[in-house]
Amino acid sequence: MMSVLTAVLYAGLLVYGAGWWLGYWIGNFSLLLFVLTLVTMAYWLAERFRFAPARAAAAETLTAQDAQRRAELSKLGISRVDGDVAAARESLLMQPWWLDWTAGLFPVILAVFLLRSFLFEPFKIPSGSMIPTLLVGDLILVNKFEYGVRLPVTGTKLFANKDPQRGDVMVFHYPVDPRIDYIKRVVGVPGDEVSYTNQALSINGKVVPVQPLGDYYDEDSLRYAPKFAESLGAVPHNLLVEPKRASIYRPMDSFVNFRDNCRYTAEGVTCKVPAGHYFMMGDNRDNSQDSRYWGFVPDENIVGRAFMVWMNFSNLRRIGLFN
């Protein structure tokens, strides 16, 4: 019965993973890992307190019965008895496959769940909106505890740590569809007035200075774009801006929360960041769907601060910390 139940559970897991991979639905890895932790924990507890003791008791019964049989035969003068219960005892004590693949995996899954939920979480960069800081295919690590400890799955903050600062590269749940994770740079914090007009960024009325660094060659798009150095607070970083490209900013229909905090003109957009929210922009300024289009990121959508590229299989030189 338990083997059939376990097979059904694994079949459901395979269907879920295949549908996610093929794009039939958007997966939620945090929820999946939470469910796997609970299920394997249930198997582990059952193994520890029921199945393992039952197997041990059966093995002891077998040993006792063999000893009794040998004693009775000995009374009859038969000292040599065929058969060895060692193999049968080992077979009784052996953990069945459905416990190997559930209870046996619980410690590993629990460790991954705790590490991913409260310390560090890996992500893969899917688009070029953060070029030149992050490239498509970069595998990054996100610090989950820097902005406060949150419950897994729900994201409810248990206690606060430090607040996001201007210049931080932050992963967050996309406000339009929280099932999707986005990564952008924090440009405006609560109370800031952020203006991006004529491809120049201003915060609270002060233009953020940039320094030209020459052209940057994007290997994905096979074209050059002007690269600049910019500092938001104490965080220096590079960005791409295309001065000859006309950018027209219009709010998406899904931009509904605090929509009145933004003013759109032919030159750009100016927004007042509401309390508990953040204004995000990509470093690839003219190729990024960000707060200029879909609005502000609420605090409850924050996942953590991205700080390191831990792998890029096509370019190992990418590995390291970044701003």
- What count of other Cβ atoms lies within 10 Å of the Cβ of residue 149? 16
Element housing 42 (H / E) = helix 29-46
Q: pLDDT tens-digit profile of 83-134?
A: 677 888 888 888 999 999 999 999 999 999 999 999 999 999 989 999 999 9
> Does the annotation mark 244 as catalytic?
no
Of 30, 117, 144, 184, catalytic: 184
261-285: per-residue pLDDT in tens? 999 998 899 999 999 999 999 999 9
- Report pLDDT digits (tens) over 137-155: 999 999 999 999 888 888 8
Say what the pTM is. 0.85
Percentage of the chain with pLDDT > 70? 98
122-321 folds as Umud Fragment, subunit A (2.10.109)
Cα(first)–Cα(last) distance of the chain, in Å? 54
Mean predicted lDDT score pLDDT of the chain: 90
Q: Which of 30, 129, 195, 288 does the annotation list as catalytic?
A: 129
What secondary structure letter does DSSP report for 123? E
Question: According to CATH, where is 2.10.109.10 located in the chain?
Answer: 122-321
Q: For this structure, is 184 an active site residue? A: yes
Nearest to 269 by CA among 205, 195, 199, 204: 195
